[in-house]
Amino acid sequence: MKVKKYLNVSIIVLLLLPTVAFAALTGVKDLITSIQGLINPLLSLAVGLALVAFFWGLAKFIFRLGGDEKAVEDGKRIMKWGLIALFVMVSVWGIIELIQQDLLGLNSGSTSSGVGGRYTGPSGPPQ
């Protein structure tokens, strides 16, 4: 039974090995770009959760849930930590973008759309 299991795993590894080899990163910029592709969705999710936490605390503070003073203090605490989390996440994101663009020369993927630019179609600018 173990031999069959090892044989199956070996066959799968051998079949997938060329795929991994062709997908190999060629430099530091490719590595950073692929890591950024993994981190950006997670960062968006974390910022969204921090916003939800802040607004949850704000709702508890405003509505006071039956006049309970503990709910007011709990709402203040949740809002405070939600704001701290947002500040830290956005600051770290800004520092990472600064390092990528200025020190490493990488583009973050947010490019200008060219709105308002001069038309340079196949026949040149319109007459």
Answer yes or no: is 121 within a domain: no
Lowest mean pLDDT among 9-13, 34-38, 116-120: 116-120
CA angle 102, 86, 104 (to 5 degrees): 15
The pTM (predicted TM-score) of the whole model is 0.54
Q: Please report whether residue 18 resides in a domain.
A: no
| Residue 63 domain boundaries | 25-103
In angstroms, the CA 88 to CA 80 distance is: 12
* pLDDT for position 112: 45
pLDDT digits (tens, 9 = 90+) for 6-19: 888 888 887 777 76
Transcribe 86-101 into DSSP letters: HHHHHHHHHHHHHIII
- The total of structural domains in the chain comes to 1
Expressed in angstroms, the distance from the first to the final Cα of the chain is 78
Tens-place pLDDT, residues 71-102: 788 888 989 999 999 999 889 888 888 887 88
pLDDT confidence band for 59 (50 / 70 / 90): confident
CA distances from 50 to 17, 64, 76, 87 (A): 40, 21, 14, 10
| Residue 69 placed within a domain | yes
Mean pLDDT for all residues in the chain: 77
